[in-house]
Amino acid sequence: MNLAHKLCAFFILCFALNSQAAVWVDNQSWSLQYEDEYSQWMQSSKVHEKLFSDPSSPYFGVSTDCADTAYALRAIFAFEHLLPFAIYSPSGSRSGTGSLNNRQSNWDNLPTNKERLIAMINEIGDSVGTENLAYFDTFPVAIKSINPGTVFMYKIKARFKKFIRHTYNITGINPVGTFEVIYSTQANKKKGLPLIKRNDKEFDNAPTDPWGFRKFRWPELLGRDLSTIPKELGPSTEQYSLVATLGPVGFFQYVKKTIATSNESTPQKLARLFKSVCTEAQARVDYVNQGLIHLKETDNKCMNYEEFDAYSTPVRDQNLKDLFLKLQSAYNEALAEGVLTTTNSELIHFSEIIFKNQVQANTDLLSACPVNYKVGASLDLANLWKRMSNGSLSSHPNDNVEARWGDKTSVKTKCKSWY
Amino acid sequence: MIILIGLGYYGLQKFAHLSFAGKRNLNFLNTSSPPKLIQLEGTKSKSRNFENSKQTICDELRVTYQHFDQLQKTNNKLGLKLEIRFENKHIQIDQIIYRLRYFIKDSDEGEIQTYLVYREDKPEIPTLIEKSSHQKGKLYKNLEQKLDVEKNGEILYNEIGINQQVNEDNTLFLHYINNQLMGIQGLHLIEKISQNIECHFQQE
């Protein structure tokens, strides 16, 4: 065989191999050690908001909403460590052994394994949601086993017999027992925006079987009984019993107490909640603006169901309202405990302005947390709370910016409110 | 609503009846306090009891919910709609196997019905060829129509996940493949079932 023939045979062989390319070839197996590494990786700077949206990121092009983000992070870790990755086959399997996994050749038209990985993740994003994650690909864990890498998923009733489900990826546990989380949303996915990170998250929606704190199943444990999961990973359904026994508020207090390494004083709580209210109030500017941009792009057309769903904000507005109420409750606790003297006096002052309406306008509060809702117009938290509590804010994405933020002169849209 | 609750309780009562007829002691499953539950996990004899009871609970529930068509008939009789969470159909049309998938995608403020079509270019290797949300895509509609015309004769596989109401507030998630029950989740929502129970079944 001359050189030309040999080269030709070599290229044919390469082509044949490439045409059956796995997403990546795994040569490791999941183990407790790899689970520890996964947990460390989730806490590391490698998991950041711009992981999928920064053109210089190796994973630029991954497009995720809430559950997809959990799948994506797990797949990326598996890819980087040559571990197997598999989820219960979204479209089913006649042989009963099917999964969507890294060994598949579905994406072998793409030249690099990184491109194939991104294509696989995006197909997962198209094919499944939070329900698959809860029902098939994860298992519930004991409270003491919650760690970075655990996901928290909830399902709550919404209006018109609909449900809202969401997935948070835990990236850290703070000493006082609050969570660092990273997640995405439908609107983020649509616009290719960065992931959302929160450093002091408290969950409010209690687990209801099978929703709650869960961890990924190893590929070989898909569809298997909980008793097959290594005990060290903490497979347990105790969270559901705890909710039944303690109620939602008691449950989350129990969780906080179990995972915290230090107690949170009321002044610390007040400071944390003020920061959280500020973060979410400012985040509302982004949510509303995403809708306004979309409105501009579509010549102010009335939004269809899907658009309405992505850009309306009733649930997020309710969450912000609940956060204000938590702040108010922490302020009342501080009053009741008589710890006002040991609390940051500025925070007490701010709380009095917000909840007791002691000052009409306060530049300190405004500079501590400006909500710049349109060019040249800002709200402080006291004004925002006032508008929110009297129902002036609009969650309808066809409303103009003034109506969304409850300006007195605003005119409301006549477009259909889908729910 | 009364009928709805009645159906749920029918299932529960049947289950409870069978449980107590078998003289099993369900007391250890009671959730009096969380620390007790954790302590129980380490007790050998009780964990053996638990494994046995778990198996019996799953077997008994299997009897109640074994076949999708029967459940559907019962629900229909009572005028109840099934809450389908996802459905996968594999169908053969003109020698090509397609997969139709319906599921409910999450969104920020609610949920979106989503319809996918896959084509198997190789056996059991599906390629996603159409995706649409909220309303069925053209291909999905056409294939479904064709499937209907052929009176479902070409369905090779049918998988369905439903939420079955068991009482006013709670539902069980039931997973069926080709009409057979494969799994039940949400058991902790039923009173007195409180430890590590998920029921998984093998295909017959």
Residues B15-37: tens digit of each pLDDT: 433 333 332 322 222 222 222 22
Average pLDDT score over residue span B121-147: 91
Q: What secondary structure does DSSP assign to B123-191, as a single string?
A: TTEEEEEEEEESS--HHHHHHHHHHHHTTTTTEEEEEEEEEEE-SSS-EEEEEEETTEEEEEE-GGGST
Distant-in-sequence, close-in-space partners of A170: CB < 8 Å, separation ≥ 6: A42, A146, A147, A148, A149, A150, A151, A152, A179, A180, A181
User: Which tens digit of pLDDT belongs to each residue from A192-211?
Assistant: 889 999 999 999 899 998 99
Mean pLDDT over the full length of chain A: 90
B164 Cα to chain A: minimum distance (Å): 14
- What's residue A345's pLDDT? 77
pLDDT of residue A2: 55
Query: Given CA atoms B19, B23, B28, B32 in this order, what sign does their dihedral have?
Result: positive
Q: How far is A350 from chain B (nearest CA, A)?
A: 31
Residue in this structure with the two tokens 């903490």, named with its chain if needed: A234
The answer to whether the Cβ–Cβ distance between A419 and B110 falls below 8 Å is yes
Average pLDDT over residues B105-119: 88
Residues 215-254 of A with CB under 8 A from B: 223-227, 235-238, 240-242, 244-246, 254
Q: In A219-265, where does DSSP find H-type helix?
A: 238-259
Measured between beta carbons, the chain A residues lying within 8 angstroms of B203 are: 96
Collect all residues of chain A within an 8 Å Cβ-Cβ radius of residue B128. Answer: 123, 126-127
Q: What is the DSSP string of A327-371?
A: HHHHHHHHHHHT-GGGS-HHHHHHHHHHHH--SS--HHHHHHS-E
Residues on chain B touching A206 (C-beta within 8 angstroms): none
Percent of chain B with pLDDT over 90: 34
Q: What is the mean pLDDT of residues A95-106?
A: 89
Over 60: is that where the pLDDT of B183 sits?
A: yes
| Interval A373-390: pLDDT, tens | 999 999 999 999 999 999
Q: Can you name the residues that pair with A157 across neighbouring β-strands?
A: A163
pLDDT, residue B32, reads 26
For residue B190, the model assigns a pLDDT of 65
A124-174: per-residue pLDDT in tens? 999 999 999 999 999 999 999 999 999 999 988 776 677 888 999 999 999
Q: Which of residues 110-169 of B touch A (CB under 8 A)?
A: 110-112, 114, 116, 118, 124-128, 131, 133-134, 156-157, 159, 161
> Which residue in A134, A140, A110, A136 sits closest to A123, CA to CA?
A110
| A290 token code pair | 């995403």
One-letter amino acid of A407? D
Sort B179 into a burial class: Cβ within 10 Å, 0-12 / 13-18 / 19+.
middle
Q: What is the mean pLDDT of residues B94-101?
A: 93
Residues of A whose CB is below 8 A from B200: 223-225
What is the rounded CA–CA span in Å between residue B150 and residue A82? 46
Is the CB of residue A170 less than 8 Å from the CB of residue A180?
yes
pTM comes to 0.84
Residues B167 and A169: their CA atoms lie apart, in Å, by 31
Distance CA A347, CA A368 (A): 10
Quick one: pLDDT at residue A331?
92
Contact A66 B188 (CB under 8 A): no
Which contacts (CB < 8 Å, 24+ apart) does range A192-197 have?
A192/A53, A192/A63, A193/A53, A193/A290, A194/A49, A194/A50, A194/A52, A194/A53, A194/A54, A195/A48, A195/A49, A195/A50, A195/A51, A195/A52, A195/A53, A195/A64, A195/A69, A196/A49, A196/A283, A197/A48, A197/A49, A197/A171
Give the pLDDT confidence score for residue A174 in this predicted structure: 96
The complex scores an ipTM of: 0.84
* Domain assignments of chain A as residue spans, ordered by start: 18-247, 266-404
Tell me, what's the pLDDT at A172?
Answer: 98
Residues of chain A contacting B189 with CB distance shorter than 8 Å: 208-209, 240
Please, is A232 exposed, middle or buried when counting C-beta atoms within 10 Å of its C-beta (0-12, 13-18, 19+)?
exposed
Gap between the Cα atoms of A2 and A307, Å rounded: 63
